[in-house]
Structure 1
Amino acid sequence: MAAILAALALAGCSQPSTAGKGAPLHVLLIPADGGTESGTLADYRPIFAAVGKSAGIDFDLKVAQSYGAVVEAMCNGTADIAFVGPVTYLQASQRGCADLLAVAVKKGQSVYYAGLFARKDSPIRSIADLRGKSVAFGDVNSTSSFVFPVTMLIGAHIDPVKDLGALRLTGSHANSLAALIGKRVDAAALSFDSYDKAVREHVPGATEVKVIARSEAIPYPPIVMASRLPAELKQRLRDGFEGVAKAPGVTPEMIRGYGGAQVDGYDAHFPAARFDAAARKMALLSDDLKGEILKKSAER
């Protein structure tokens, strides 16, 4: 079944890459904000256009249908570059498929945060108040809409399977926020970047939401490249991202990151070791626990 789902998720991305043969590099983006082409493509087209202009490289951008589909595409050769979450990067890296390419920098930092949110009119004030409440999470492979929020619950001695009421896996940050605003759940897990984007875009009801818990700092979602790419091409990509903010003809508005937010630039020498904390969080979620969460989420 897993193989069938992966194949379906990769529909439209099944042709092997022709990287290094003069064709555009295939870029696959995780469906961080709703899973639609338009929103996520609008977020990342400016930065890839800027890098392409400065480095003389063409890119073909597509949005995957799931986080897992991005890992499979990197590993089966149908994607050359990907925008991923820290956990998705680690999954691909552990399979020998992906190398770090670049990480966005804003105000001297390359971090973001996961959060648990409730409606302002809710009596929920803290994680402890979530016992018996319904909670929406994003994709099971998402760092900030699943892995870190679940470990936050565990750290507060709340068993996500036994202690929560209904548990919903919506597939994306935006879907979880919509479920919260629509009063289909009592709380929702998503990144602050996704929440800020919803407020920035005047999503109805977004300002009627409050934060009940904030994660520790998480390494910013990276852009990664396939390990199989030629060394010369990898260096051109690193140089392109590292220098993009100062490249001729590139305006500050083109330097975008997660959620379409403007950033200062990209660090193409970001130490892979900084993702070790995310790896430790990922290790806390055993396959058995994830299986139980998936089972619970299917209950109605």
Structure 2
Amino acid sequence: MIRILARLWPLLLALAMLPACSDERDVARIDFTKSISETRTPTDVDSSPRLRCAVSAMVSPKETHTIYVRLMDYLARHLDMDLEFVQRKTYAEVNELLMSRDLDVAMLCSGPFALAEDQLGVELVVTPVLGGSPFYQAYLIVGADNPAESLADLRGSVFAFTDPDSNTGRLVPLHWLAEIGETPENFFAETIFTYSHDNSVLAVARGLVDAASVDGLVWDYMAAHDPELVGRTRIIKKSQEFGAPPVVASLDLPVEKRQKLREILLTMHEDSEGRDILDGLHIDRFTAPDPAWYEAIREISRPARVKE
């Protein structure tokens, strides 16, 4: 154990120093030990009703704020409310805020939504359509120079998971390992959690880990914005399709607000500001979701959850 920790410590230190976005010149750093404080706009005065929003940290905290705050501000303004944008480090922490009725609207990772839907006290509002599809996949990635061509070739490697509750960043690779009768402890030399998909991509690109399973939407987004960086990685396996990360609303949000929220999201691609925001997110539009889209996540998680 001491030998393993000694080998792992430099890797963890390096990951803690990863930039909080894909621009390697950015000096911002991520502290994986802390949650992110709340951000309110335009003021902290509680004279107006507030729309408390969060986005599960599918990308690192700074990127999450940069990418999604315009969307949440757009929703708040069209609902005649002030925005309170809340960030937390882990998916579980965002779920806890929903369960404690401390959030009104959230965009959740599909895994935590599917596995805790009955406990969250939320209504499924919309799902994003990206590249013409409301589905997404896990990508198993390695360094561009890594000779591995399949999961089997990664035996004895250093592997990065994202979040303990992530679908594409943990549940899917656990499922892949179970299919070949393996567990992370027996198959990999070492494993770590990066707590965001962009950090996992960065870790592979920089050779800090050998491989990772990441959200394909995040990898595609990063490839479009930083092709040189993402070009240092390559995809060796893709998963089946799952319902894309949904937008949910707390059942404590008045029914009329939930209905208006759905209408705003379903039609925002039709106005110039909404279209511009969606273009920045690489989202075609939002669509009414089918709850069955998320059943596959529950199915693949059952063997992994039993073993845990």
Normalized against structure 2, the TM-score is what? 0.79
Paired with 1:11 and 1:180, the residues of 2 have a C-alpha distance of: 25
Report deviation, 1:203.
7.1
Q: Does 1:98 align with 2:122?
A: yes
AA matched with 2:302: A
- From the superposition, tell whether residues 123 and 278 of structure 1 become closer, same or farther in structure 2 (CA, over 3 Å): same
Report deviation, 1:263.
1.6
AA matched with 1:31: A
- After superposition, the C-alpha distances for 1:9-58 in whole angstroms (9 at most, x for unaligned) are 66746xxxxxxx95121001111112x2x311222123334434544444
For residue 183 of structure 2, what is the aligned residue in structure 1?
A: 159
Aligned to 2:186, what secondary structure does the other structure show? coil
1:165-204 paired onto structure 2 within 5 Å: 165-202=189-226
For residue 148 of structure 2, what is the aligned residue in structure 1?
A: 124
Aligned to 1:280, what secondary structure does the other structure show? helix
For residue 294 of structure 1, what is the aligned residue in structure 2?
A: none
- From the superposition, tell whether residues 106 and 188 of structure 1 become closer, same or farther in structure 2 (CA, over 3 Å): closer
Aligned to 2:112, what secondary structure does the other structure show? helix
- From the superposition, tell whether residues 170 and 107 of structure 1 become closer, same or farther in structure 2 (CA, over 3 Å): closer
Report deviation, 1:94.
2.0
Paired with 1:110 and 1:64, the residues of 2 have a C-alpha distance of: 25
Q: Does 1:286 align with 2:305?
A: yes
Do 2:127 and 2:244's aligned partners in 1 also have CA atoms closer than 8 Å?
yes
Do 1:177 and 1:190's aligned partners in 2 also have CA atoms closer than 8 Å?
yes
Report deviation, 1:178.
2.2
Matched residue pairs, number?
A: 268
Q: Of residues 278, 281, 292 in structure 2, which corresponds to 1:273?
A: 292
AA matched with 1:206: V
For residue 292 of structure 1, what is the aligned residue in structure 2?
A: none
Paired with 1:184 and 1:163, the residues of 2 have a C-alpha distance of: 18
RMSD of aligned Cα (Å): 2.3
Report deviation, 1:204.
5.8
For residue 53 of structure 2, what is the aligned residue in structure 1?
A: 27
Aligned to 2:218, what secondary structure does the other structure show? helix
Paired with 1:11 and 1:182, the residues of 2 have a C-alpha distance of: 26
For residue 269 of structure 2, what is the aligned residue in structure 1?
A: 245
Paired with 1:196 and 1:56, the residues of 2 have a C-alpha distance of: 34
Q: Of residues 154, 159, 169 in structure 2, which corresponds to 1:135?
A: 159
Report deviation, 1:175.
1.9
Aligned to 2:231, what secondary structure does the other structure show? helix
Paired with 2:302 and 2:110, the residues of 1 have a C-alpha distance of: 13
Do 1:54 and 1:244's aligned partners in 2 also have CA atoms closer than 8 Å?
no
Q: Does 1:255 align with 2:282?
A: no
For residue 208 of structure 1, what is the aligned residue in structure 2?
A: 232
For residue 30 of structure 2, what is the aligned residue in structure 1?
A: none
In the alignment, structure 1 segments of 5+ residues that lack a partner are: 1-7, 14-20, 290-300
- From the superposition, tell whether residues 165 and 113 of structure 1 become closer, same or farther in structure 2 (CA, over 3 Å): same
For residue 63 of structure 1, what is the aligned residue in structure 2?
A: 87
AA matched with 2:237: A
Report deviation, 1:252.
2.0
Do 1:134 and 1:165's aligned partners in 2 also have CA atoms closer than 8 Å?
yes
For residue 18 of structure 1, what is the aligned residue in structure 2?
A: none
Paired with 2:283 and 2:246, the residues of 1 have a C-alpha distance of: 13
- From the superposition, tell whether residues 278 and 220 of structure 1 become closer, same or farther in structure 2 (CA, over 3 Å): same
Do 1:50 and 1:244's aligned partners in 2 also have CA atoms closer than 8 Å?
no
- From the superposition, tell whether residues 180 and 238 of structure 1 become closer, same or farther in structure 2 (CA, over 3 Å): same
Do 1:41 and 1:62's aligned partners in 2 also have CA atoms closer than 8 Å?
no
Aligned to 2:185, what secondary structure does the other structure show? coil
AA matched with 2:284: D
Normalized against structure 1, the TM-score is what? 0.81
Paired with 1:64 and 1:254, the residues of 2 have a C-alpha distance of: 23
Do 1:255 and 1:265's aligned partners in 2 also have CA atoms closer than 8 Å?
yes
- From the superposition, tell whether residues 242 and 205 of structure 1 become closer, same or farther in structure 2 (CA, over 3 Å): closer
AA matched with 1:140: P
In the alignment, structure 2 segments of 5+ residues that lack a partner are: 1-32, 39-46
Do 1:131 and 1:158's aligned partners in 2 also have CA atoms closer than 8 Å?
no
Report deviation, 1:207.
0.6
